[in-house]
Structure 1
Amino acid sequence: MATNARRPSARELGNKAQQAGDRAERAGSDIQDSRAFRILVTVGLACYGVIHLLLGWLAIQLALGRGGEASTGGAMKDLASKPLGEVLMVIIAIGLFTLAVWQLIEALFGYRRLKTTTKARRKISSGAKVIMYSALGFSAAALAAGSDSGDSNESARSTTAQLMSAPFGQILVALVGIAIIAVGISQVVKGVRRKFVERDLESGAPEWGKKLGTVGWIAKGLSIALVGALFAWAAISHDPDKAGGVDGALKTLLEQPFGVFLLIAMGLGFAAFGIYCFVWSRHVNHEEI
């Protein structure tokens, strides 16, 4: 005689889902609280600082007419060409992938004490950082393996050309440009309003490090906004060749009146952010991890 199994009620299913979510959240918290993970986050932020110090140096070299690719990819290529460069690339790749995991955990389980709208905004931001850190990590891993990660300007132009070939492609490219400009502006605001002090740093971080962070976030934001402006200009002119990465943005800046001085100032801003990353690595706000 067949028996009918009782189906779980909606409340029971909801409770099981809640319990599963709580277990996943605790597992994420355990990872974040582990000493090994925190050490890797510190290493990752220090590696990120090295990349920006090199980016600042390349930007200044570009301003002085000595060529080179002034981008994060160019900075890693320059470092990879040095003695023990491949070993350094492995360390940087591990550090960057750790930062990606950190932000992935934040996107999935973090910001529990924040209001719903703020929490959603922070989670989206963490998700974007997962993509950024992962992309840089893959570039570092490729360089460690002896492969060339490619030119940032060519990559941007290729992406723009592909988007423009799609239906409503010109509008898509313009939207990409606007989104990138918005990210850049948000980082400028983060620097000007010093939002990073509360979000990123624990109490006790030195004031000089906070000042470098202000300069660094503004410089990063301006460079990103310039990249977005190039995408927008490519859409307006319907010319994919107008697009470019950070290197293209800095070269465009160099072509402006007083471009040499503007580019040197930008390079110093990147260097300031690089030093700030070392301060950040030593004073990470563990409540945000």
Structure 2
Amino acid sequence: MNAGALTHKSRTKGRRMARGPAMEGAARAGLTARGVIYVLVGALAVRIGLGDGGPQADRGGALAEVAGEPFGAVVLWALGVGLVGMALWRLSEAVFGAAGKDGGKPKKRLLSAGRCLFYSVVAWSVLAFAAGAGGSGSGSSDRQSRDLTARALELPAGQWLVGLAGAGVVGAGLWIGGRAALRKYHEHLRLGAMSRRVRQGVDVTGVGGGVARGLVFATAGVFAVRAAVAYEPDRAKGMDDTLRAFKDTPLGPSLLVAVAVGLVLFGVFSFAMARWRKF
């Protein structure tokens, strides 16, 4: 057997593993873990909107809430392992292509690679928190955002880098919200396995949750752009400060509560994806 045949055989075997039961289980665990975190962050934000300062409405605040519950340490480790599964699933998509006819296109692979990197960082932070190391898992997302922005601004062409990154986050937020509003997630779901009522419920969570998530991303990106233009890293905001900023709009706390409920809906939608997603 020549080298080309061996390479082809290896790739075929890799694709089968990437789309096999083990990777499917890792993906479902990751989607479930993501759902738990979004439900918790959304619930914390609801409390803030209703006048309870409470813990920070970000990943660190959510993890702290979990840690304070019975068997909290076990849940934290489960969340961390689940997010590792999410990162591995996205890595397999980047290497072998995602499911579907367009899954092997470079654009799709690059998007999966970016998601792999993102969830790798999130998984590491959750596992660090579970191990008691704290660090980014327990730290304020607002402080992290300001520190990262300050370091970036000190680089050559730092203002441009931060501004372009912020614009990219704005674009990502609009893309997330737009795809949710258009129900593009349908192409990834086994709709035939759902009853009519279940499909309606999934659409409520998918549209409402996706639009809210996209709005939060886009708003955080706007703050990053403002920080770049003003050369003031303190203008950059993490998840918590971004959510609290909605209270300062003309709609006041009601807008924050609406967005927070949307994040809870996105968490529930993640559970639906874990149950009915195509692999």
Residue 126 of structure 1: how far off its partner (Å): 0.9
Once the two structures are TM-superposed, the CA of residue 113 in structure 1 deviates from its matched residue by 5.7
Compute the displacement of 1:87 (Å). Answer: 0.9
Q: Distance in 2 between matches of 1:38 and 1:284?
A: 10
1:42-57 map, 5 Å: 42-57=28-43
What percentage of aligned pairs have identical amino acids?
A: 30
Letter in 1 for 2:59: T
The residue type paired with residue 66 of structure 2 is L
2:238 maps to which residue?
245
Distance, in Å, in 2 between the alignment partners of 1:19 and 1:202 is 38
Q: How does 1:75-94 map to 2 (within 5 A)?
A: 75-94=62-81
**201 and 223 in structure 1: CA distance in 2 versus 1, 3 angstrom threshold:** farther
CA distance in 1, matches of 2:266, 2:74: 24
1:101 and 1:25 map into 2 onto residues whose CA distance is: 18
1:143 paired to 2:129 = yes
Q: 1:275 to 1:112 in 2, by over 3 A?
A: closer
Gaps of 5+ in 1: 1-11
In 2, the alpha carbon distance for the partners of 1:115 and 1:95 equals 26
Flag the structure with larger Rg.
1
How far is 1:246 from its partner? 1.2
CA–CA distance in structure 2, aligned partners of residues 30 and 258 of structure 1: 50
Name the CA distance, whole Å, in 2 between partners of 1:42 and 1:249: 29
What amino acid sits opposite 2:83 in the alignment?
A: L
**Aligned counterpart, 1:72:** 59
Partner of 2:83: 96
Q: 1:178 aligns with which of 151, 154, 167?
A: 167
What TM-score results when the alignment is normalised by the length of structure 1?
Answer: 0.87
Offset of residue 121 of structure 1? 2.1
1:160–1:240 Cα contact (<8 Å) kept:
yes
Match of 2:184 among 195, 203, 207: 195
When residues 78 and 18 of structure 1 are mapped into structure 2, their CA distance, relative to the original with a 3 A threshold, is: farther
CA distance in 1 between partners of 2:102 and 2:5 (Å): 19
Give CA-to-partner distance per residue, 1:98-132, whole Å, 9 cap, x none.
0100000001101476459x822221221121122
Q: 1:222 to 1:18 in 2, by over 3 A?
A: farther
1:100, 1:129 → 2: CA distance?
7
Contact 2:224 2:235 in 1 (8 A): yes
Deviations, residues 230-274 of structure 1 (Å, cap 9, x unaligned) = 100101111000001111211111111122010100111011111
Separation (CA, whole Å) in 2 of partners of 1:173 and 1:190: 25
Pairwise CA distance, 1:25? 4.1
Say which is worse superposed, 124-133 or 200-209, in terms of deviation. 200-209
1:84 alignment partner AA: F
| 2:18–2:89 CA contact under 8 A, matched in 1 | no
Matched residue pairs, number? 271
SS at match of 1:66: coil
Q: Which amino acid in structure 2 is aligned with residue 95 of structure 1?
A: G
SS at structure 1 position matched to 2:274: helix
Q: Distance in 2 between matches of 1:66 and 1:213?
A: 28
Equivalent pair of 1:112/1:119 in contact (CA under 8 Å): no
Aligned partners of 1:201, 1:77: CA distance in 2, in Å?
35
For normalisation by structure 2, the TM-score amounts to 0.90
1:184–1:221 CA contact under 8 A, matched in 2:
yes
Alpha-carbon displacement from aligned partner over 1:133-187 (angstroms, at most 9, x marks no partner): 1122111101111132211011111111011101111111100100111111110
- Structure 2: 5+ residue runs without aligned partners? none
Q: Does 1:210 align with 2:186?
A: no
**CA-atom RMSD in angstroms:** 2.1
Looking at structure 2, the residues matched to 91 and 129 of structure 1 have their Cα atoms a distance apart, in angstroms, of 20
Aligned runs of 1:1-289 on 2, under 5 Å?
A: 16-17=3-4, 19-34=6-21, 36-67=22-53, 68-111=55-98, 114-115=101-102, 119-148=105-134, 149=137, 150-201=139-190, 203-205=192-194, 206-207=198-199, 208-286=201-279
Structure 1 residue 18, shift from structure 2 partner? 6.8
Instruction: Give the secondary structure class of the aligned counterpart of 1:203.
Output: helix
